[in-house]
Chains A and B, each alone.
Chain A
Amino acid sequence: MLSFLRKSPADGTTIRGTFAHGVHPPEAKDDTSKLAIRQFPFAPSFVVPVSQHIGKPAKVIVREGQKVRRGECIAEPDGFLSVAMHSPVTGTVRGIGPVPSITGRMVEGIFLEPSAASSQEVMHGTPCDVATASVDEILTAIQRAGVVGLGGAGFPTHAKLKIPEGKRCDTLLINGVECEPYLTTDHRVMLEHAADVMVGLRYLLKLTAAKRTIIAVEANKADAAEALRAAVPSDLQVEVAVLPVKYPQGAEKLLITALLGREVPSGGLPIDVGAVCTNVATTAEIGQLLPTGQGIQERVLTLGGPGIRDKGNYRVPIGTPLRFVMETAGTTGELGHVFLGGPMMGQAVSSLDIPVTKGTTGVIAFTADQTGPLTDRLEYPCIRCGACLEACPLFLNPSRMGLLAKHGRYDEMVAEEHLFDCFECGSCTFVCPSHIPLVQHFRVAKTQMRRRKAKA
């Protein structure tokens, strides 16, 4: 039916199917997709929040005044659903206290001051060899390396890769879709670190015992697919699948539908349908860190949007304050809107004092005159056009949910409209001709329901 969308790439491989619904926002990737990853300089001060992942915050193991080295573990995982934190610089711990975060809450964090002689050299740890290490040893190594999903959600990777008793994984999916507009980090990682991806794959294959491995790339990154195909070692069976460009294809549940035709049940996990899905940058990071026993102390992010002067893909140390990032890259005028992540699922930033964390996929900035005054975007009543129903990839009813939310009828949203299945991709808000902030309504509804549940 949608065959007209499936253009064949130059090398003649067929493009796979895709999921139903979804939207096509402008890609806006051309500014940065050709720019190679560059190392970002050290900021004069660092703030490392100990909670950059979903789960329990890490336990601080340094004290004020202590000297730390780049790559040294400064916070240990506290329990299974928690990962370690590593120092991004060689320097001194200046304090431990509340730091602002993108969620609007203050979280515990470590303030670091780099020493004058701080170098790019990173401390090595105990290596984890894929040939000899056991499954549990690899899982622990991933946890100790502080690896979380680098696609933005920040779910601890070792927890995702631990196959529960009685479940089997037949397919390993590596997610290189990157469907968010403006972001090109995964694209560059696939191009420049294809070999690391393959090393990481070996670890993942040992953990999941999957028979089939698919790396998913969207058709607008044909060069990355090419680089990955060329990097596949002769002893590994890896398919590189090229998918039509569509948003939100990078959501793992939709990617599984697009590639395997399986539907992850409501409230379920990919493993329930025999699949495990990992971000490609996460895989590359595992391939890079585990052989040397290092931890994540920097990540690749895209600095983009018309508000940034030196756009590009940078390897930025974790904990670099956003203010320093903006000052170093430069802006084209007075900043209007700044987002962490892409414009669809990213979060608006209220203060530049928050640091870059493991979940920061990019920083997108617009100047004040590019976005116009805030009062321009008037909201109109819902005209029941149904555009949001056509857009919602999960076949929910955003229109009805929006109307219910307006009247505070949150119980009905959960009971009748499956509110908690919504993963806030923003497709409904994107297509709404009345400019109704649907996703924001849903976020408020979810928060209120969680508050009520916590109280009960």
Chain B
Amino acid sequence: MLFVTAVATLAGLTALLATLLVVANARLHVEEDPRIDQAEDLLPHANCGACGRPGCRPFAEALVTGEANPAECTVSSPEAQATLAAFLGVALEEREKQVARLACAGGTNVARNHAAYSGLSSCTAAALVAGGGKGCFWGCLGIGDCEVACGFDAIHMDPHHLPVVDADKCTACGDCVTACPKDLFSLQPVSRRLWVRCASHDAGDEILEDCEVACTACGRCAFDAPAGLITMRDELPVIDYSRPDHSANDVPIRRCPTGAIVWLDPEEGPVKGPAARKVLRKGDRRSAAT
């Protein structure tokens, strides 16, 4: 008898709760566009935030409502973007590929430190201890917060503790831009060939003492460039990329004495002008006594 009661009670309870679930499912059903799931499946699932949305799912929702274009997902390959556009029945916007670029060339072989930093292995932490000990206050600290932040394995530290961006792998998600405590990274369209690899607001001999490849603010590049393309501001050349002729030729870099302004060749990488002082040192530049 006890056995029968127990089974009956549980069976009754099961039936009751099942009914409740069925009713709830029917009553509280949310109509969702099935294309959202399908579109999300076509995305790379990187959840990197490069599109400006919190993740791939919100981006898929925006795609379906027409608020976003498949081209905004910089992580997808052109083929994947085309597939997605065909699936959604929209035209693929023309967008130029962007990459992260570092505005510093002061590796340990050319730039020197005023003090040795010891402590947490992080640029952000080092920057909080009197700037990190680097002679140049604006320069790359070389501990590699950007390498850690990069989720696409596109940033690697070179032997002189300077991050090198692999343009093929870089998806312009902007994580390195946020990670750098010295704000040296920025996202740049690949067609921009002229690039200033220095962020120092010091000038002349003062900055050369701390870094051999720094911009001395001599102004030769600004003089040689087409009128108005390069202006000197706060001891640095500023290139007006809004002009169509911003990367017409490499004339502005030819007389640069330190190689702070470079021509980014798609094949060879950064090219310094012929007048730039050669850096032959392989090891670290000796630190100055404090």
Contact = CB atoms under 8 A, between A and B. Distances in A.
Given A105-B137, A348-B115, A441-B125, 13 more contacts: A104-B130, A105-B131, A106-B201, A348-B129, A349-B130, A351-B115, A374-B116, A374-B118, A437-B120, A443-B128, A444-B122, A444-B125, A447-B128
A349 B115 CA distance: 8
28 contacts: A98-B201, A102-B130, A104-B127, A104-B129, A104-B130, A104-B132, A104-B137, A105-B131, A105-B137, A106-B137, A338-B290, A347-B129, A348-B129, A350-B117, A350-B131, A350-B132, A350-B290, A351-B114, A351-B131, A351-B135, A374-B116, A375-B118, A440-B125, A441-B120, A443-B128, A444-B122, A444-B124, A448-B124
Range, interface on chain A? 20 to 34
Contacts of B125: 440-441, 443-444
Contacts of B134: 350
A55 interface: no
Contacts of A441: 120, 125
Contacts of A11: none
B119 A437 contact: yes
Interface residues of chain B: helix, strand, loop or mixed (majority):
loop
B133 interface: yes
A3 interface: no
A335 interface: yes
Interface in A299-328: none
Given A440-B125, A444-B120, A444-B125, A103 B290 contact: no
Interface string B100-142: 0000000000000011111110101101111111110100000
A167 to B, nearest CB: 34
Contacts of B129: 104, 347-348, 350, 440
A354 B130 CA distance: 10
A350 B119 contact: no
Nearest to A375: B118
A95 interface: no
A303 B54 CA distance: 53
B208 to A, nearest CB: 16
Contacts of A349: 115, 130, 290
A284 B8 CA distance: 88
A81 to B, nearest CB: 23
A351 B124 contact: no
B10 interface: no
A125 interface: no
B290 A335 contact: yes
B121 to A, nearest CB: 10
Interface string A340-382: 0000000111111010000000000000000000110100000
Nearest to B202: A98
Interface of A: 98, 100, 102-106, 334-335, 338, 347-352, 354, 374-375, 377, 437, 440-441, 443-444, 447-448
Contacts of A100: 131, 137
B2 interface: no
Contacts of A105: 131, 137
B207 to A, nearest CB: 12
B111 to A, nearest CB: 14
A360 to B, nearest CB: 13
A374 B115 CA distance: 12
Nearest to B116: A374
B17 interface: no
B289 interface: yes
A399 B141 CA distance: 28
A440 B133 contact: no
B143 to A, nearest CB: 12
A440 B134 CA distance: 18
Contacts of B118: 374-375, 377
Nearest to A339: B130
A350 B115 CA distance: 5
Nearest to B201: A98
Closest 3 CB pairs of A and B: A104-B131, A374-B118, A350-B130
Given A104-B137, A334-B289, A347 B120 contact: no
A354 B290 CA distance: 11
A104 B137 CA distance: 7
A454 to B, nearest CB: 12
Indicate the member of A100, A375, A444 with the most B CB atoms within 10 Å: A444
Contacts of B181: 447
Contacts of B128: 104, 440, 443-444, 447
Nearest to B115: A350
